[in-house]
Amino acid sequence: MSEGAVLVKTRKFMKNPLLSRRQMIVDIIHPGRPNVPKKELQDVVGGMYKADPKLTTLFGFRTKFGGGKSTGFCLIYDNEESLRKFEPKHRQIRGGYMVKKEQSRKAMKEAKNKGKKIRGTGASIAKHKAKRSAGQD
């Protein structure tokens, strides 16, 4: 293998029709390189499984001691709708499907404490109003 060449292997492949995705563990062998960017891996894994690289989510990568090999997890969704429905918000933000809403720490705490003061059936309504007022600040 030459410098910069990357070998991608998948294992524990599983189709998950309930979440409309394919999931697997990805092993990357990258001698001479510290790490491989996720964008590059999205293209490689998407090509391996004839899927759109945009619908491929990679996360949880750990480099083995000594370098040269990394292991992580991959999800390939069947369509964008299921990705938006089942993927956690933080991974959607990383993938560019959502925009992170900037909110100050103080505003979040004030909204939480306003919600704690009201009990019963009106609590969910009050929490909703508190979130809206925190978002407007």
Q: Given this model, what pLDDT does residue 57 score? A: 93
**In this predicted model, which residue has the larger pLDDT, 117 or 110?**
110
- 71-113 pLDDT, tens digit each: 999 999 999 999 999 999 999 998 888 898 888 999 889 888 8
0.75 surpassed by pTM: no
Q: Are strands 21-29 and 69-77 parallel, antiparallel or unpaired?
A: antiparallel
| pLDDT exceeds cutoff 80 at 4 | no
* Sheet arrangement for strand 7-16: 7-16, 21-29, 69-77, 56-63
